[in-house]
Structure 1
Amino acid sequence: MAANTTAATLPLSGRVAIVTGASRGIGRAIAIHLRSLGAKLVINYASSSSQADVLASELNSKAADSIDTSPVAIAVKADVSTPEDVKLLFDRAEQEFNTPAHILVNCAGVLDPKYPTLANTTVEEWETTFNVNTKGAFLTCREAANRLARGVGGRIVLISSSNVGRRCRDTVRTRRRKLQWRQ
Structure 2
Amino acid sequence: MSKLLEGRVAIVTGAGRGIGRAHALELARHGAKVVVNDFGVSAAGEGTDESPAHEVVAEIEAMGGQAVVNGADVADFAAAEAMIRQAIDTFGGLDILVNNAGFLRDRMLVNTAEDEWDAVIRVHLKGHFAPLRHAGAYWRAEAKEGRQRAARVINTSSGAGLQGSVGQATYSAAKAGIAGLTLVAAQEMGRYGVTVNAIAPVAKTRMTEGAFDTSAMALPEDNSPIVAWLASEEAGDVTGRVIEIDGSVITVENGWSHGPSRDAGARWEAEKVGSALRDILAEAPTPEPVYGA
Alignment TM-score > 0.5, same fold: yes
- Deviation string for 1:78-121 (max 9, x for gaps)? 11111011011111112221x12110000111113xx3322121
Letter in 1 for 2:85: D
Matches within 5 A, 1:111-122: 111-112=104-105, 115-122=106-113
Tell me, what secondary structure is at the counterpart of 1:138? Answer: helix
Tell me, what secondary structure is at the counterpart of 1:17? Answer: strand
- Is contact 2:165-2:172 (8 Å) kept? no
**Paired position in structure 1 for 2:28:** 35
Name which of 87, 90, 93 aligns with 2:84: 90
**Paired position in structure 2 for 1:66:** none
**Paired position in structure 1 for 2:128:** 137
Measured at CA, do residues 161 and 176 of structure 1 come closer, stay the same or move farther in structure 2, by a change above 3 Å?
closer
Distance 2:175 2:131 in 1: 14
Tell me, what secondary structure is at the counterpart of 2:93? Answer: coil
**Paired position in structure 2 for 1:68:** none
1:166 deviates by 6.5
Query: Please, which runs of 5 or more residues in structure 1 have no aligned partner?
Result: 64-70
Distance 1:57 1:90 in 2: 21
Name which of 149, 152, 174 aligns with 1:152: 149
1:178 deviates by 2.0
1:132 deviates by 0.6
Distance 1:44 1:104 in 2: 11
Distance 1:146 1:127 in 2: 26
Matches within 5 A, 1:42-121: 42-47=35-40, 48-63=49-64, 72-97=66-91, 99-112=92-105, 115-121=106-112
Tell me, what secondary structure is at the counterpart of 1:178? Answer: helix
Normalised TM-score (structure 1): 0.82
**Paired position in structure 1 for 2:276:** none
Distance 1:55 1:110 in 2: 19
Tell me, what secondary structure is at the counterpart of 1:158? Answer: strand
Distance 1:56 1:75 in 2: 7
Matched, 1:170 2:169: yes
Query: Please, which runs of 5 or more residues in structure 2 have no aligned partner?
Result: 41-48, 188-293
Distance 1:51 1:103 in 2: 21
1:61 deviates by 2.0
Normalised TM-score (structure 2): 0.53
Distance 2:28 2:90 in 1: 16
Measured at CA, do residues 155 and 165 of structure 1 come closer, stay the same or move farther in structure 2, by a change above 3 Å?
closer
Distance 1:147 1:173 in 2: 30
Q: How high is the sequence identity, in percent, across the aligned residues?
A: 34
**Paired position in structure 2 for 1:13:** 6
- Deviation string for 1:150-177 (max 9, x for gaps)? 4231001101333599653233122222
Letter in 2 for 1:153: A
Aligned length: 166
Q: Which has the higher contact order (CA 8 A, sep 6+)?
A: 1
CA RMSD of aligned residues (A): 2.0
Distance 1:166 1:176 in 2: 11
